[in-house]
Amino acid sequence: MSDKIDIFNHVMPVRYLEMMKQHSKDAGIVKRMTSLRMLWDIEARVAMLDEQFPGVRQVLTLSLPSPELLGGPELAPELARIANDDMAAMVAKWPKRFPAFVASLPMNNVPAALDEMDRAI
């Protein structure tokens, strides 16, 4: 049987989760994202995939809240960099499980979004 690719799979890198805890004004989303272990515990996700879904590969995307929803135009570029750097590290560590990621951009800061797009590519 050939591999299946899940092309829109959400993650919450731990450093991004910590920034969300620090900057979010929405306690509900912090509680929800913190309670969804497979979003931020990537080691556990890989173990679960290996055991239950050995033929599935995932293209990673950042879960909500996006950088511009979490921070203003000054903070969103840093949040996007953190998310993209950490998703790139996941792809580098587990290339057979995660063949790619979709870069996040600070959509409330167009010059920074263009810079981050170039950097992420």
pLDDT digits (tens, 9 = 90+) for 92-103: 999 999 999 999
Model confidence at 30, pLDDT cuts 50, 70, 90, reads very high
Confidence check: pLDDT of 8 > 90: no
pLDDT category of residue 2 using cuts at 50, 70 and 90: low
Section 7-28 average pLDDT = 95
Q: Over range 61-69, report the average pLDDT.
A: 96
- Which CATH topology does 4-120 take? TIM Barrel (3.20.20)
Question: How many other β-carbons are positioned within 10 Å of the β-carbon of residue 21?
Answer: 12
Question: Mean pLDDT across the chain, nearest whole number?
Answer: 95
User: What is the pLDDT averaged over residues 24-40?
Assistant: 94
The pLDDT value given to residue 1: 47
Q: What angle do CA 118, 76, 107 make, to 5 degrees?
A: 60
Determine the Cα angle at 64 with ends 99 and 89, to 5°.
30
Task: Compute the average pLDDT of residues 115-119.
Answer: 97
Percent of the chain with pLDDT over 70: 98
